[in-house]
C-alpha cells in the first residue's frame, strides 16, 4: 500500500470518528414539562404580576418564549394525543362526537391506538432512554385488565410512574364531584319523581280514594333503593377504581394520596435523570397540577396570593426549578432541550362548592378550556437550550403543540414516519432565528371531532385571520364561559352557527372582540373563501378511523379494571412508603 493511500484511509477514519462523535454530542436530551389546565395568564413571564413562578420565568429568560403557541385541542385527552403523535386528534380517533370529550374511567377500552407513532417510540428506537412521569390520560387496556394496549409502556416509554387517567375532584375526599350534572339527571330527578308518586299514593290510599296493591309500593321502593344504592356505590368506589398511582404495570398506591404528591413525582423524575447521565434521554414530566382537585404540600398551602389555585401553581413551579437544578448539578443543561407548556387554556368555569375560583387566568384572551377562543388554545410555550437557542428571544408566529413531535424526532436523528400525515412542523428554524416565518400557513381548530375554526397566516402578510364556523353559546349570556354546563359543548343547541364564518384578525384583535364584515374588511369574501377552501381540502383528505371516545369506548368495563388487592372490591394498597424506604 502506498504511503499516501494509507494516509487517506487514516484521514477518512478520523473524519468518520469525529462525525460519529459530534453526532453523539449534538443529540440532546429532552425534558418536556407539561402542565394541566394552566392558563397563559398565570406564569410571570407571560405577564402575571402576582403569582410567583421563578422556575418558568427562568426558563423564559434563558430560552425562547412563544407567544402564539396553540394547543391542537382545548381538552386534555385530544390535546395530549396530538402532542404525542404530532397529528390532529381526529386522525387517531381521539376526538369525541358527543358531549364527553375525555376519558373518565381508568377501565375504559378507548385509548391512543397502537398503530399511532409517538415521539417516544421513535426516540426509543434511536437508543434514547424514555420516561413518562405524571398524567397520561390516553387509555390503558383493550380486552382484559392486563393487556396494557394503550399504556405508556406500549407507546415507546421505557418507564412510567403516575396516573393513567386524570386528576379529578372525585379523587380527593371532601372536594365534591364533577358528576353533579349526571347525578341530577340519572339519580336525583328519578328519586324525586318516585318519592312524590309514593307520597301521593300513600295519601290517596289513606283517604280511601284509591286502592293501591302492596306490590306497587314494593316495586317503587325497590326502584328507589336500587337507584340510591347504585349512586352511593358509584361515589364510594369511583376514587379507588380510577385514582391510583402505578409504576410501569404495578399499582403502587390505590387510591392515590395527595400527600407530597408533587414531591414524589419530582423525586422520581430527578432519579430518572440521574440514572441516565451517560445515555441520551427523553423525560416527559406531565404534572397533575393545576387541574382540580387542587392540592399542595404544607410548604405551599396558603402561601400564594391566589388561594388554593395559586398555591398549586407555585408548587408546580417549585418542581420545575428542582428539575432545572438537577440538570445544572449533573452538567446536563447545555445538552438538554427543555420545553414547558400546558395542555390547553385555563378552565375559567371551575369554581368550588363555595364559589372560590379554582381555574386559572387566560390573560387578555377570551374563553378557556373546552372552547376555541384564544383563551382555550393559546398556551405557554418555552424552549430552552443554552448555547443553541438565543436566551430571551420572543416569537409571535403561530406554532402548535403538535410541532414538538417533528422537532424532537429530527433532533434525535430519527426520520419522520412517511406512511402518515404529520401535522406538526419542525420548530428549530424558527427557534434558532434561521427563519422568521412559521411553517403553518393554516391551522385547524377542532372542538372535539367538529371543525370549529381555521387560522390563516398568509405568506407575505402579518395578518392572522381566524374564521369560526360556529361559536359556543356562553351561558349565562354575557359570561366568559359556559358556566351553566361547566364546559362548552361542540354541537346542537350549545352552539351558534356562522355563515359566512365569524372572521377576526388576531394580529390586530387578539381579544376577538370585533368580528369583521365586508364593510370593515374590503377583502372579506376573498379571505373567507380561501379559508373555506383550505378547510374543505383538509376535511376531504381525512381518513375514517375507529372512534376511541365512542360511548362504548368510554364506559366503565369491569373486566378492564385494575385492582391491587385480589380480595373483594376494596382495591386498597400503599406500596409508596415501602418504595421510599427501599430507595433510601
Ligand X SMILES: *[C@@H]1O[C@H](CO)[C@@H](O)[C@H](O)[C@H]1NC(C)=O
Q: Toward ligand X, which CB reaches closer, 387 or 492?
A: 387
Smallest Cα–Cα separation from 404: which of 372, 435, 382? 382
Told to check if 271 binds ligand X by CB under 6 A, we report no
DSSP one-letter string for 350-405: -B-TT--B-S---TT-S--TTS-SHHHHEEEEEEE-TTTS-TTEEE-S-EEGGGHH
Q: Which stretch binds ligand X (CB under 6 A): 199-207, 355-363, 482-490, 521-529?
A: 355-363
The verdict on 334 binding ligand X (CB under 6 A) reads yes
Pairing of strands 245-247, 159-163: antiparallel
> Considering 69, 137, 289, 358, which one is annotated as catalytic?
137
Pick 48 or 548: Cβ nearer ligand X: 48
Q: What is the Cα–Cα distance from 285 to 414, expressed in whole angstroms?
A: 22
Closest CA to 503 of 472, 529, 483: 529
Single out the residue of 163, 150, 145 nearest to residue 110, CA to CA: 150
Nearest approach in angstroms of CB 363 to ligand X is 5
> At its nearest, how many Å lie between ligand X and the CB of residue 51?
5
Q: How far is the CB of 216 from ligand X (least distance, A)?
A: 55
User: Candidates 47-55, 239-247, 292-300, 540-548 — which segment interacts with ligand X by CB under 6 A?
Assistant: 47-55
For the CB of residue 385, give the shortest distance to ligand X in the complex, in Å: 9
Whole-number Å distance between alpha carbons of 237 and 570: 8
Minimum distance of ligand X from residue 331's CB (angstroms): 5
Applying CB under 6 A, which of residues 3, 49, 434, 513 lies at the interface with ligand X? 49
| Of positions 33, 51, 120, 132, contacts ligand X by CB under 6 A | 51
Asked if 170 and 177 touch (Cβ cutoff 8 Å), the reply is yes
Closest CA to 467 of 500, 420, 514: 500
Which residues does 280 contact at the CB level (< 8 Å), separation at least 6? 27, 28, 29, 126, 127, 128, 129, 412
Binding residue (CB under 6 A) for ligand X from 52, 306, 369, 425: 306
**Nearer CB in complex with ligand X: 111/310:** 310
Instruction: From 315, 162, 180, select the one nearest 245 (Cα to Cα).
Output: 162
Applying CB under 6 A, does 36 fall inside the site for ligand X? no
Contact range with ligand X by CB under 6 A, out of 28-36, 41-49, 270-278, 430-438:
41-49
Q: Which one of 44-52, 110-118, 443-451, 494-502 is the stretch in contact with ligand X (CB under 6 A)?
A: 44-52
CA–CA separation, 538 and 547 (whole Å): 19
To the query of whether residue 18 is one of the catalytic residues in this protein, the response is no
β-strand partners of 495: 472
Q: Which of 28, 29, 30, 42 lies at the binding interface for ligand X (CB under 6 A)?
A: 42
User: CB of residue 489 vs ligand X: minimum separation in angstroms?
Assistant: 25
In this complex, which beta carbon is closest to ligand X, that of residue 51 or of residue 377? 51
Distance separating alpha carbons of residues 210 and 201, to the nearest angstrom: 8
Q: Are 131 and 160 in contact (CB under 8 A)?
A: yes
**Exposed, middle or buried: residue 93 (CB in 10 Å: 0-12, 13-18, 19+)?**
buried
Respond yes or no: is residue 150 known to be catalytic.
Answer: no
Q: Tell the burial category of 298 from Cβ atoms under 10 Å away from its Cβ (0-12, 13-18, 19+).
A: exposed
Contact with ligand X (CB under 6 A): which of 28, 41, 74, 86? Answer: 41
The CB-nearest residue to ligand X is 387
Select from 3, 5, 206, 331 the one that contacts ligand X (CB under 6 A): 331
Closest approach of ligand X to the CB of residue 334, in Å: 4
Beta carbon of residue 555, minimum distance to ligand X (angstroms, whole number): 34
Q: Is 408 in the site for ligand X (CB under 6 A)?
A: no
Which run of H or E residues covers position 192?
helix 189-206
Quote the least distance from Cβ 48 to ligand X, whole Å.
4
48 interacts with ligand X by CB under 6 A: yes
Burial label, 567 (beta-carbon count in 10 A; 0-12, 13-18, 19+):
exposed
Give the binding-site size for ligand X (rule: CB under 6 A): 17
Closest to ligand X by CB, 50 or 461: 50
**Interface characters, 356-395, with ligand X (x: CB under 6 A):** ----xx-x----------------------xx--------
Q: Residue 79: name the closest of 425, 343, 439, 410 by CA.
A: 343
Nearer to ligand X, 308 or 399 (CB): 308
Catalytic residue among 76, 488, 563, 564: 76
Of the two residues 262 and 362, which places its CB atom closer to ligand X in the complex?
A: 362
Nearest to 132 by CA among 163, 170, 101: 163
Contacts 24+ apart (CB under 8 A), 197-202: 198/224
For 408, the enclosing helix (H) or strand (E) is helix 404-411
Of residues 150-189, those binding ligand X (CB under 6 A):
none
| Cis, peptide link before residue 512, omega less than 30° from 0 | no
CB nearer ligand X, residue 51 or residue 82: 51
Instruction: List residues near ligand X by CB under 6 A.
Output: 41-42, 47-51, 306, 309-310, 331, 334, 360-361, 363, 386-387
Residues with active-site annotation: 76, 137
Amino acid at each position: 500500500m502506498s504511503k499516501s493511500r494509507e494516509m487517506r484511509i487514516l484521514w477518512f477514519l478520523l473524519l468518520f470518528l469525529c462525525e460519529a462523535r459530534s453526532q453523539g454530542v449534538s443529540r440532546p436530551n429532552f425534558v418536556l414539562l407539561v402542565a394541566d389546565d394552566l392558563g397563559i395568564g398565570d406564569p410571570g413571564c407571560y405577564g402575571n404580576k402576582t403569582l410567583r413562578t421563578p422556575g418558568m420565568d427562568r426558563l423564559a429568560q434563558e430560552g425562547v418564549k412563544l407567544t402564539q403557541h396553540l394547543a391542537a385541542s382545548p381538552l386534555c385527552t385530544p390535546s395530549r394525543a396530538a402532542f404525542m403523535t404530532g397529528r390532529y386528534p381526529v386522525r387517531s380517533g381521539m376526538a369525541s362526537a358527543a358531549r364527553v370529550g375525555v376519558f373518565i374511567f381508568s377501565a375504559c377500552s378507548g385509548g391512543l391506538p397502537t398503530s399511532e407513532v409517538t415521539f417516544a417510540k421513535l426516540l426509543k428506537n434511536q437508543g434514547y432512554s424514555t420516561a413518562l412521569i405524571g398524567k397520561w390520560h390516553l387509555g390503558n387496556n383493550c380486552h382484559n385488565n392486563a393487556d396494557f394496549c394503550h399504556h405508556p409502556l406500549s407507546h415507546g416509554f421505557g418507564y412510567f410512574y403516575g396516573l393513567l387517567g386524570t386528576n379529578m375532584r372525585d379523587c380527593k375526599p371532601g372536594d365534591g364531584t364533577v358528576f353533579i350534572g349526571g347525578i341530577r339527571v340519572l339519580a336525583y330527578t328519578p328519586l324525586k319523581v318516585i318519592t312524590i308518586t309514593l307520597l301521593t299514593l300513600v295519601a290517596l290510599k289513606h283517604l280511601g280514594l284509591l286502592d293501591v296493591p302492596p306490590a306497587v309500593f314494593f316495586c317503587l321502593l325497590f326502584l328507589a333503593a336500587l337507584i340510591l344504592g347504585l349512586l352511593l356505590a358509584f361515589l364510594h368506589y369511583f376514587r379507588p377504581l380510577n385514582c391510583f398511582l402505578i409504576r410501569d404495570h404495578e399499582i403502587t398506591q390505590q387510591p392515590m394520596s395527595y400527600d407530597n404528591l408533587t414531591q414524589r413525582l419530582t423525586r422520581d423524575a430527578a432519579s430518572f435523570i440521574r440514572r441516565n447521565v451517560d445515555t441520551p434521554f427523553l423525560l416527559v414530566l406531565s404534572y397533575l397540577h393545576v387541574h382540580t382537585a387542587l392540592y399542595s404540600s404544607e410548604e405551599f398551602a396558603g402561601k400564594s396570593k391566589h388561594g388554593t389555585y395559586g398555591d398549586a401553581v407555585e408548587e408546580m413551579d417549585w418542581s420545575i426549578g428542582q428539575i432545572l437544578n438537577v440538570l445544572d448539578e449533573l452538567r446536563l443543561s447545555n445538552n438538554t432541550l427543555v420545553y414547558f407548556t400546558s395542555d390547553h387554556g385555563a378552565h375559567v368555569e371551575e369554581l368550588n362548592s363555595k364559589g372560590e375560583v379554582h381555574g386559572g387566568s387566560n390573560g387578555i384572551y377570551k374563553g378557556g378550556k373546552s372552547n376555541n377562543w384564544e383563551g382555550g388554545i393559546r398556551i405557554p410555550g418555552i424552549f430552552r437550550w443554552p448555547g443553541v437557542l438565543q436566551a430571551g428571544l420572543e416569537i409571535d408566529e403561530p406554532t402548535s403543540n403538535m410541532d414538538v413531535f417533528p422537532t424532537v424526532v429530527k433532533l434525535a436523528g430519527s426520520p419522520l414516519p412517511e406512511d402518515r400525515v404529520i401535522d406538526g412542523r419542525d420548530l428549530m428554524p424558527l427557534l434558532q432565528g434561521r427563519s422568521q416565518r412559521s411553517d403553518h400557513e393554516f391551522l385547524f381548530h377542532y372542538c372535539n371531532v367538529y371543525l370549529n375554526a381555521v387560522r390563516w397566516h398568509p405568506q407575505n402578510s402579518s395578518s392572522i385571520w381566524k374564521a369560526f364556523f360556529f361559536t359556543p353559546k356562553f351561558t349565562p349570556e354575557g359570561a366568559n364561559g359556559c358556566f351553566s354546563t361547566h364546559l362548552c359543548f361542540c354541537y346542537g343547541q350549545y352552539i351558534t352557527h356562522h355563515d359566512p364564518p365569524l372572521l377576526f384578525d388576531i394580529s390586530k384583535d387578539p381579544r376577538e372582540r370585533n368580528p369583521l364584515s365586508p364593510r370593515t374588511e374590503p377583502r372579506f369574501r376573498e379571505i373567507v373563501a380561501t379559508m373555506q377552501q383550505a378547510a374543505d381540502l383538509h376535511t376531504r383528505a381525512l381518513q375514517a378511523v375507529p372512534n376511541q371516545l365512542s360511548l362504548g369506548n368510554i364506559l366503565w368495563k369491569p373486566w378492564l379494571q385494575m385492582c391491587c388487592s385480589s380480595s373483594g372490591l376494596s382495591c386498597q394498597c400503599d406500596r409508596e412508603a415501602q418504595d421510599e424506604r427501599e430507595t433510601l
